[in-house]
Amino acid sequence: MGISSMRPQLSEGDIERLMKGETPDERAGIAHKLCRRIATDPLTDTERRHAEEIIAILAQDAAELVRKTLAVALRNSPRLPRDVALKLARDVETVALPVLQYSPSLTDQDLIELVRAVEGAKQIAIASRDRIAAELCETIAGEGIADAVAALARNRGASWTNKAFDRSIDRFAENEGVKTALIAREHIPVHVAEKLVSLVSGQAFDMLVNRHELPAQLAIDLASGARERATVDLVEQADRSQDMGYFVHQLDLNGRLTNSLIMRALCLGQMKFVEHAVAELAGVTHGKAWLMIHDAGPRGLAAIFDRAGLPRKLLPAFKAAVNVFHETEVDGGPNDKARFRMRMIERVLTQFQAIPKGDLDYLLEKLDFYSEQARAMETPPSEEAARRFG
């Protein structure tokens, strides 16, 4: 069975010109005609084998124009054989780029190996594919050039992981293109926002604050070096994003999971953060830390406290704050979190007689903030109510 019987519009003369055409333009024209039909028409098994033979011949044509025609015509087609796709992917850029960016014939493992083998525009093409799996994303972030990582950050179809974010920032902390592209993503983890805020300025800083709901004063505090005070304010965002465990782990890796930070968070009622922090320092699961902090009595709390390496002199204050937490209720009304934290701080200030000045100033400042926040949500009484109650 000849290829011409497979395609009524492709004559034996076309096949002859395809194989022996004197000019690249002539062969490219026939190649385009054939590849378009291979990509769209139904094929029998025999016709598919014939088509693959022709594709293999085209992929070895000496003329770049013919190979480019093949790559462009079959860039979206699963009928491009994988071995041919790999061959084209390693060809010159004009031939390789359409295949690298679009071909479904390349597997994720193929693409990971290609990222490591190619460079420049070829890496950018891979980073621009419609779908980027997590492992491929991590490979590009860890081994790709800056422009490829920036293209990856702009790609909404890329499955970014914490590892990919960390690799990108560690490698390209000074690259404005990469940082701006990361900030422009719809969502970035809390610990990434914390890292970026001290690395950017100008429009990128404004975008980070506005796009990712990072309070401006918090960003200024972080950027100016007041990291510990600002980090407490990031805790709630980490809690909302279900990222608390990783957030705490990153703080520990960077040497910022300090005793003072844990105590400040505890005094604000950020108990989930405190539980994860103690678990991280003690090397136990969150569940075990929770049990020893809340349910194991004073000895259990002391045991986990010691295992976490926290100084014994803080234990009485820690116990008192945990007790205050259990005694303080969330009332369920509008802005109840602000009122809860206000009451937490008030009771902590009442019970702690020897708070270090830095922590005292911080808690007083937070008390003012949450008091104002709670008052802002209160509904002013109507004139009728004012008259009725004097």
**Poorest-confidence range of 17-21, 205-209, 382-386?**
382-386
Residue 254: predicted pLDDT: 77
Alpha-carbon gap, residue 173 to 146, rounded angstroms: 11
Q: What pLDDT does residue 307 have?
A: 92
- State the average pLDDT over residues 93-120: 96
Q: How much is the pLDDT for 6?
A: 43
Q: What is the mean pLDDT of residues 161-184?
A: 92
Q: Please give the structure tokens belonging to residue 359.
A: 């922590």
Q: Collapsing DSSP states into helix, strand and coil, what is residue 158?
A: strand
For 77-101, how does the pLDDT look when each residue is reduced to its tens digit (9 = 90+)? Answer: 999 999 999 999 999 999 999 999 9
Indicate the angle between helix axes 190-197 and 244-253, nearest 10 degrees: 40
**88 vs 85: CA distance, rounded Å:** 5
* Chain segment 125-143, per-residue pLDDT in tens: 999 999 999 999 999 999 9
Number of helices (H) and strands (E), helices first, in the chain? 26, 0
Q: Is 101 exposed, middle or buried (0-12, 13-18, 19+ CB in 10 A)?
A: middle
Determine how many CB atoms are found less than 10 A away from the CB of residue 119. Answer: 12
Q: Are 339 and 268 in contact (CB under 8 A)?
A: no
- Over range 154-164, report the average pLDDT: 94
- Please give the Cα distance from 174 to 378 (Å, whole number): 46
Contact 319, 301 (CB under 8 A): yes
Partnered with residue 158 across adjacent β-strands are: 132
Of the ranges 57-66, 357-366, 369-378, which is most confident? 57-66
Higher-confidence position of 239 and 386: 239
* Confidence label for 158 from pLDDT (cuts 50, 70 and 90): very high
Instruction: Please identify which residue in the block is written with the tokens 């968070």.
Output: 265
Secondary structure (3-state) at 7: coil
Packed helices 271-282 and 244-253: angle between N→C axes, nearest 10 degrees: 50
pLDDT in tens, 185-211: 988 887 888 788 777 777 777 777 677
In this prediction, residue 278 carries a pLDDT of 94
Type of residue numbered 76:
N
The three-state secondary structure class of 23 is coil
Q: What is the pLDDT of residue 363?
A: 58
Contact 69, 28 (CB under 8 A): yes
pLDDT in tens, 25-50: 878 887 888 888 888 878 778 878 88
| pLDDT confidence tier of residue 13, bands split at 50, 70 and 90 | low
CB 280 within 8 A of CB 252: yes
Cα 200 to its chain centre, rounded Å, is 18
**What's the rounded Cα separation, in Å, for the pair 80 and 202?**
47
Paired strand residues for 132: 158
Residue at 183: amino acid letter: I
CB 29 within 8 A of CB 67: no
* Mean pLDDT within 227-244: 69
Q: Is the pLDDT reported for residue 161 higher than 90?
A: yes
For the cut 70, the answer to whether the pLDDT of residue 155 exceeds it is yes
User: Two tokens at 148?
Assistant: 């490829």
Alpha carbon separation from 75 to 25, 55, 154, 176 (Å, rounded): 20, 13, 22, 32
Q: What does the chain come to in residues?
A: 390
- Residue-wise pLDDT for 306-337, tens only, equals 999 988 877 877 887 788 788 777 655 666 66
Integer Cα distance of 152 and 123 in angstroms: 10
Mean pLDDT (whole number) for 246-270: 82
Q: Which amino acid is at 182?
A: L
CB contact at 8 A, 264 and 349 = no
